[in-house]
Amino acid sequence: PGIIIAMLFVSIPFIINYSREGFESVDVRLENAARTLGASPFYVFLKISFPMAFRNIFVGAVMTWARAISEFGAIIIIAYYPMIATTVIYDKFLTTGLDASQAVAAILLLFCLIVFILLRLLIKKKK
């Protein structure tokens, strides 16, 4: 629980800000037109507002994930155990030296690179 709280504390502003920007960019006239045609507020949100803001929400989620996976400071202070990747890198560096920590860092870097490449391919397919 401490790790989740620490990650949320430093990462949640990303998704909040991106989502807010996405919903602010939705044209209010479209929402009003749907409401005058008899759509419920939930239907307007589901069919107009959310789809138009989805890209920003998705980008915010990716940025939140990237920030959370790289978090070190809050986690090392609040919840050292169970270890996540960044604390494992730090622990390996302190106990066995740079060589062992480089291997773990390379694995984390490779994992993040694969995730971002897959996301890029997914975005290109949607266009």
List, for residues 40-58, the tens digit of each pLDDT value: 999 999 999 999 999 999 9
Global pTM value = 0.79
Quote the pLDDT of residue 127. Answer: 65
Quote the pLDDT of residue 75. Answer: 82
Domain edges within the chain: 1-80, 83-127
Please report, rounded to a whole number, the percentage of residues in the chain having pLDDT higher than 90. 62
Of the candidates 9, 11, 2, 13, the one whose C-alpha atom is nearest the C-alpha of residue 82 is 2
Quote the pLDDT of residue 90. Answer: 92
Chunked into runs of 10 residues, the chain (127 residues) has average pLDDT values of 82 95 97 97 97 94 89 82 88 92 94 92 78
Handedness of CA 97, 77, 86, 1 (dihedral sign): positive
For 9, 11, 62, 80, the CA distances from 76, given in Å and listed in that order, are: 14, 16, 23, 5
Quote the pLDDT of residue 73. Answer: 84
